[in-house]
Chain A
Amino acid sequence: MAQDGLSVGVKAVIGREEIGALIAALSARGWRVLGPRVRDGAIIYDDVAGLDDLPAGWTDTQEAGRYRIERRTDAALFGYAVGPHSWKRFLHPPVERLWQARREGDKVTIIAEKNDEKFAFLGVRACELAAIMVQDRVFMEGPYPDTAYRKRRENTFLIAVNCGEAGGTCFCVSMKTGPKAQAGFDLALTELIEGERHEFLVEVGSEAGGAVLADLPRRPAAPEDIAAAEAVTARTANAMGRTLETEGLKELLQGNPEHPRWDDVAQRCLACANCTMVCPTCFCTTIADVSALDGTAERVRKWDSCFSLDFSYIHGGSVRKETKSRYRQWMTHKLAHWIDQFGTSGCVGCGRCITWCPVGIDITEEAASIRADSGKCQEGGNGRA
């Protein structure tokens, strides 16, 4: 309730240890707390039980086709950019049963799924927050909302973390999604590390967030704390690894379906679908129906990718047989058609598709090449100098 909590917009400072208390407070309120952990040489998202589970003192270095985690010189809890996981795997799971059907005699009963889990996400980056809002539009704002997604989303507590490090492939500044979380969170943290000091500036973004923060030991934020937090995100904004010119990008891509650059990128693209799996906004799925000998059948929904040949299959064959047309579909959808469909770009500038591409294809570079060559594409050859 409002009187028990802190109002939206309130800023306070908590100590590093209080992150553990925050996890405990959320667990006590019935949320399944998910946050960053080091596993298999990457920082991924999974259940976190306390402070010790967080990737203290770890960072990541990223380049096109390259990702490594490394030790930091400090004990930062959120001193990395983003890993291969995104929160999509919880809100829009990779494999999800949609329903089961049971046959008894002539009667078939269809049983819906419950989806009553409550998630608290700890460490949501500004770009990821933007990605969640993009998927909210996809799954909840059309004529047919996705019931399962909506139920999970309505029961999700979001703790944003403003970025203190820009990844080598980051371009959230170009996409106007970060590095500071502006809205859509319950609580937003900025990690403040200076000499012996290791604290967090906390901003309340919702009533629920205010109620949780009210239970934690804290002190009010001083103007210096707020200025220090601003400096952190300002420094990050100036260290972006990539840029993407978005002005006129939609028209550029929609107007160049036959640009020779698509052939060029198809020479490198393996159509492995990594980019779509790591992308926090890619939402495509397929379904599989399975039946058991006991008379039950079920339908499972699984992540799918526009890079697979089967994706566009119609009677007679696949529409997009060539890698060229599949890459064109992905990139044009992400950066252009998405705007027609959902009123926003499908790209949040997280850089995952660049980092996790096994051959280092860079969406910012591909877009820039098409921009550089647009208008010359009718002349034959690959049009490049």
Chain B
Amino acid sequence: MEGLERIVLAHPFFAGFEAELGQVVSGCARNLRFETGQYLFRAGDEANEIFLIRQGVVSIEIAAPGQKPTVFATEREGEIVGAAWMVPPYRWRFDARATSLTRAIGIDARCLREKCEADDHLGYEMMKRFLPVVARRLDETRLQMLDVYGKQSA
């Protein structure tokens, strides 16, 4: 097993992933490093990569004119950034910024999409890993939306 493949399969996102599929996915992967303050991507750019964070913290932000950007989530070691890779039109909706030195595996989205199209089994295995992340984020967003710590109005 090559170094990169080993790193990919060691990430919690790929826990229990079949070795053969790991080899296929690793073919689209590269090692990345982001310095503190560096953006992984910005809203509007093409969503061409998924990031598996190995070290560091990435904040997901949205900016509105005349206001400071708002951070609404942070992702860290063992988590992923960039679910838009699998949703057309494949554009980032938020900014992602490294708030400390961040190491990640980047997986080329176009490459992975093509391999998933070609192999239903791989596609299904990837979906089984992405859907819970998306569902969990939806739950968390709902909880945030409730503003449970704010002063409730009657």
In the complex, A touching B (Cβ < 8 A): yes
Q: Decide yes or no whether A317 CB sits under 8 A from chain B.
A: yes
Contacts of B151 in A (CB 8 A): 315-316
Considering only CB atoms, which chain A residue lies closest to B150 in the complex? Answer: A316
Say how far A376's CB is from chain B's closest CB, in angstroms: 33
Q: Complex formed: what's the CA distance from A317 to B152 in Å?
A: 8
Chain B residue at minimal CB-CB distance from A313: B154
Please report which residues of chain A, range 278-319, place their CB below 8 angstroms from some CB of chain B when the two chains form the complex. 315-317
The smallest beta-carbon distance between A318 and chain B, in angstroms, is: 8
User: Interface size class for chain B?
Assistant: under 10
B153 at interface, CB cutoff 8 A: yes
How many chain A residues touch B (CB < 8 A): the figure is: 3
Interface residue ranges of B103-154 to A (CB < 8 Å): 151-154
* Chain A interface main SS type: loop
- How many angstroms between the C-alpha atoms of A317 and B151 in the bound complex? 11
Q: Encode A312-349 as 1/0 by CB contact (under 8 A) with B.
A: 00011100000000000000000000000000000000
A315 vs B150: C-alpha distance when bound (angstroms): 11
A311 to chain B, nearest CB (A): 15
A315 vs B154: C-alpha distance when bound (angstroms)? 8
CB-nearest residue of chain A relative to B148? A316
Q: Which of chain B's residues have a CB closer than 8 A to the CB of A317?
A: 152, 154
Contacts of A315 in B (CB 8 A): 151-152
With a CB–CB cut-off of 8 A, which chain A residues contact B153? 316
**Alpha-carbon separation in the docked complex, A142 to B154 (Å):** 34
| Contact residues, B1-17 vs A (CB, 8 A) | none
Residue of B nearest to A315 (CB): B152
User: Once the chains are docked, how many angstroms separate the CA of A143 from the CA of B154?
Assistant: 34
Q: B152's closest neighbor in chain A, by CB? A: A316
B68-109 interface code vs A (CB 8 A; 1 in, 0 out): 000000000000000000000000000000000000000000
Nearest to A317 among chain B residues (CB) is B154
CB distance from A198 to the nearest CB of B (A): 61
Given the complex, which residues of A lie within 8 Å of B154, measured CB to CB? 316-317
What is the distance, in angstroms, from A349's C-beta to the closest C-beta of chain B? 39
Q: Give the shortest distance, in Å, between B68 (CB) and chain A (any CB).
A: 28
- Please indicate the chain B residues that have their CB under 8 angstroms from the CB of A316 in the complex: 151-154
Docked Cα-Cα span, A315 to B151, in Å, equals: 8
In the complex, per-residue mask of A9-27: 1 if CB is within 8 Å of any chain B CB, else 0: 0000000000000000000
Residues of B whose CB lies within 8 Å of any CB of A are 151-154
Residues in chain A within 8 A of chain B (CB atoms):
315-317
Q: List 8 A-B contacts (CB under 8 A).
A: A315-B151, A315-B152, A316-B151, A316-B152, A316-B153, A316-B154, A317-B152, A317-B154
Known: A315-B151, A315-B152. 5 other contacts (CB 8 A): A316-B151, A316-B152, A316-B153, A316-B154, A317-B152
